[in-house]
């Protein structure tokens, strides 16, 4: 009895301490979500994990109290005058929508009320944009339970468009209508005629931001119409409209090529490839020369050439090989824009190279080959990698050259970050010479390292043995101070090993164990897997631990290595991971 009484006496303070610790953890997670920029990596998933832990550990009544505290914190953040706190609350709601929290109808009602309050009280555009996305998520996840809320939101948005112009409400209205069209099309479909009558007000609004969002809402509405066999589909479908009025529309667009307003000129330039797409042969016969003359003129104007490069890439896709006679001139403009004498390189020009290569294939080989040097001058970027991916898919003869150049870039970025004076390991292994004066954007930036790791894992490096490079220059990032970098390093190691299993970079293990090369390769894999398992157990970031085990589980080739005694011990140790 004495011990029981003692337990009861000390139980309340212990429970209170546990509750306080849980609330502190919740507040830290919510604080990580409160940011004007992107929130801290993993903060949203941390909220879900914390809720699942509390649901598992607390009694029903205690968990209800915990949820009341969570809702109070979200409500307080929404009531705040701090934009970052408002955004944090909306991110929390967005994460909670898909979490099972007892009565779904009650949750939907509560979250709908929160979002409704945001649209009525907030004016910051970032808040309104995020609130509209949360509303769309809620409508999509809630299904029939959200029908009344969708109806209310659509009606309010239409009234805000029809009524006196209040800029933030008009902005909110087009955001809401777009999300409702995309995520609750059954309910929205009833309001299509009202929408079409009202949207023209927003399309003519003095604010560019409102006009752009109104276009997105109209596009979403047209998709709703297109999917349904109704009279609206025949009356308003864009393709059917254009077939009978092609010349009329094309002539109107051509008439505005030299308009005095820059925004109009940019819009007209972006329309040209769409006109080419509708009726290709008629466009080539009647409009290709005048449109290409216009685009080439715009390419000589630095302030507007970005739109011309985008239009060129899209037009190449619409016209197949019809641009071949323009390629020498286009290539010259691309070279000047990618490596300008002054100013920053044009990312749009890099995109254009990839788009044209994808559209025109091997006929572009000499032109792209002549551009490779300037494309690599500015160093590694996601835009460059995407363009190179399109090029290697469409012009296979350039794959070996691009592989070598890209590996040099990656090696330079990874080795300089940890060893500023080291010669890149890939170059040493291949015996190639790396231009050490080559520019690599912001060489110490974690973002550059992460891009290098992602590219190494996913780009087509068929024919290259990269396991040794992984051991020398990638494994080191498993100890990086940045959690995202550690995760990318782990996934990169897993990907390179998996490639060796599948034979995309080397012969399969089963056919090479008996020779020296196979033995060395096997030892490399064992060493890297050992490092991965250490990270999978000890890393402080749950996303890193989870991503490693997901990768190891997702490829049966790892089983042979995981079945070793040391590996099994590590796997058993991970069974104690609460997540």
Dump pLDDT digits (tens) for 495-513. Answer: 888 887 765 444 444 444 4
User: DSSP of 341-391, one letter per residue?
Assistant: SSS---HHHHHHHHHHHHHHGGGGHHHHHHHHHHHHHT---HHHHHHHHHH
The answer to whether 455 touches 429, Cβ cutoff 8 Å, is no
Please compute the mean of the pLDDT values over residues 93-110 and round it to a whole number: 81
In a domain, 253, yes or no: no
Average pLDDT score over the chain: 83
Q: Which of 68-77, 505-514, 547-556 shows the lowest per-residue confidence on average (mean pLDDT)?
A: 505-514
Q: Which two tokens stand for residue 183?
A: 């995520």
Please compute the mean of the pLDDT values over residues 163-180 and round it to a whole number: 94
Q: What is the pLDDT of residue 235?
A: 58
In a domain, 327, yes or no: no
For the cut 80, the answer to whether the pLDDT of residue 211 exceeds it is yes
Output DSSP code: residue 343. S
In a domain, 442, yes or no: no
Dump pLDDT digits (tens) for 453-488. Answer: 999 999 998 888 888 898 889 999 998 888 889 999
Domains of the chain: total:
2
Query: What's phi and psi for 58, nearest 5 deg?
Result: -100, 155
Dump pLDDT digits (tens) for 373-410. Answer: 999 987 889 999 999 999 999 999 999 999 999 999 99
In a domain, 336, yes or no: no
Q: What is the pLDDT of residue 410?
A: 92
Angle at 383 between CA 318 and CA 325, to 5 degrees: 35
Measured CA to CA, the distance from residue 469 to residue 414 in angstroms comes to 10
Q: What is the pLDDT of residue 420?
A: 40
In a domain, 100, yes or no: yes
The enclosing domain of 175 has a CATH number of 1.25.10
In a domain, 4, yes or no: no
Predicted confidence band at 230 (pLDDT cuts at 50, 70, 90)? low
In a domain, 204, yes or no: yes
Q: Which two tokens stand for residue 261?
A: 């307003």
Single residue among 238, 269, 292 that ends a domain in this structure: 238
Single residue among 209, 238, 267 that ends a domain in this structure: 238
The answer to whether 475 touches 489, Cβ cutoff 8 Å, is yes
Helix count (H) and strand count (E) of the chain?
30, 0
Q: How many CB atoms lie within 10 A of CB 112?
A: 21
Single residue among 200, 216, 238 that ends a domain in this structure: 238
Dump pLDDT digits (tens) for 112-129. Answer: 999 999 999 999 999 999
Domain that holds residue 520: 474-579
For the cut 50, the answer to whether the pLDDT of residue 281 exceeds it is yes
Please compute the mean of the pLDDT values over residues 4-27 and round it to a whole number: 54
Dump pLDDT digits (tens) for 309-357. Answer: 999 999 998 887 889 999 999 999 999 999 888 888 899 999 999 999 9
Percent over 70 (pLDDT), the chain: 85
Of 390, 438, 444, 395, nearest to 416 by C-alpha is 444
Dump pLDDT digits (tens) for 132-161. Answer: 999 999 998 887 778 888 899 999 999 999
Side-chain-side CA neighbours of residue 240 (13 Å): 10
Dump pLDDT digits (tens) for 25-49. Answer: 888 888 989 988 888 777 888 888 8
In a domain, 369, yes or no: no
Predicted confidence band at 297 (pLDDT cuts at 50, 70, 90)? very high
Q: What is the pLDDT of residue 447?
A: 87
Of 223, 221, 119, nearest to 171 by C-alpha is 119
């Amino acid at each position: 009895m004495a011990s029981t009484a003692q337990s009861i006496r000390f139980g309340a303070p212990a429970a209170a301490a546990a509750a306080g610790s849980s609330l502190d953890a919740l507040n830290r997670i919510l604080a990580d979500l409160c940011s004007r920029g992107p929130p801290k990596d993993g903060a949203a998933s941390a909220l879900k994990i914390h809720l699942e832990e509390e649901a598992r550990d607390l009694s029903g009544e205690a968990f209800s109290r915990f949820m009341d505290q969570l809702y109070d914190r979200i409500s307080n953040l929404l009531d705040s005058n701090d934009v970052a706190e408002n955004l944090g609350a909306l991110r929390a709601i967005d994460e909670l929508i898909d979490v099972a929290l007892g009565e779904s109808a009650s949750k939907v009602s509560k979250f709908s009320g929160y979002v409704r309050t945001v649209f009525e009280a907030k004016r910051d555009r970032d808040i309104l944009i995020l609130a509209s996305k949360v509303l769309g998520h809620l409508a999509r996840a809630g299904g029939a339970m959200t029908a009344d809320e969708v109806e209310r939101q659509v009606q309010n948005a239409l009234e805000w468009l029809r009524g006196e112009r209040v800029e933030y409400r008009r902005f909110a209205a087009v955001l809401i209508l777009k999300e409702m069209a995309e995520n609750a099309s059954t309910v929205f479909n009833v309001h299509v005629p009202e929408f079409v009558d009202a949207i023209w007000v927003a399309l003519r609004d003095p604010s560019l931001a409102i006009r752009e969002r109104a276009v997105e809402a109209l596009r979403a509405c047209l998709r709703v119409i297109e999917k349904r066999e109704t009279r609206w589909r025949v009356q308003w479908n864009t393709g059917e409209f254009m077939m009978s009025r092609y010349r009329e529309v094309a002539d109107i667009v051509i008439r505005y090529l030299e308009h005095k307003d820059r925004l109009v000129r940019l819009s007209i330039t972006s329309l040209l490839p769409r006109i080419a797409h509708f009726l290709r042969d008629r466009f080539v016969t009647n409009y290709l020369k005048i449109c290409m003359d216009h685009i080439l003129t715009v390419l000589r104007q630095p302030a507007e050439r970005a739109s011309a490069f985008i239009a060129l890439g899209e037009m190449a896709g619409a016209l197949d090989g019809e641009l071949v006679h323009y390629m020498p001139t286009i290539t010259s403009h691309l070279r000047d824009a990618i490596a300008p004498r002054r100013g920053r390189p044009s990312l749009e020009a890099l995109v254009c190279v990839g788009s044209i290569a994808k559209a025109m294939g091997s006929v572009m080989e000499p032109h792209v080959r002549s551009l490779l040097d300037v494309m690599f001058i500015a160093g590694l970027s996601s835009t460059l990698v995407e363009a190179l991916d399109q090029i290697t898919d469409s012009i296979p003869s350039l794959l070996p050259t691009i592989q070598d150049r890209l590996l040099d870039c990656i090696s330079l970025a990874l080795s300089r970050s940890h060893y500023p004076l080291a010669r890149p390991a890939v170059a040493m292994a291949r015996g190639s010479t790396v231009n050490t004066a080559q520019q690599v954007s912001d060489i110490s930036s974690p973002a550059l390292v992460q891009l290098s790791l992602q590219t190494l894992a996913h780009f087509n490096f068929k024919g290259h043995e990269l396991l040794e490079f992984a051991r020398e220059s990638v494994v080191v990032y498993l100890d990086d101070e940045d959690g995202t970098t550690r995760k990318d390093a782990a996934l990169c190691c897993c990907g390179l090993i998996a490639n060796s299993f599948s034979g995309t970079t080397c012969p399969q293990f089963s056919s090479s164990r008996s020779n020296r090369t196979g033995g060395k390769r096997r030892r490399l894999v064992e060493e890297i897997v050992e490092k991965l398992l250490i990270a999978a157990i000890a890393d402080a970031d749950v996303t890193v631990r989870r991503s490693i085990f997901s990768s190891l589980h997702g490829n049966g080739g790892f089983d042979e290595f995981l079945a070793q005694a040391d590996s099994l011990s590590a796997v058993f140790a991970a069974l104690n991971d609460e997540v």
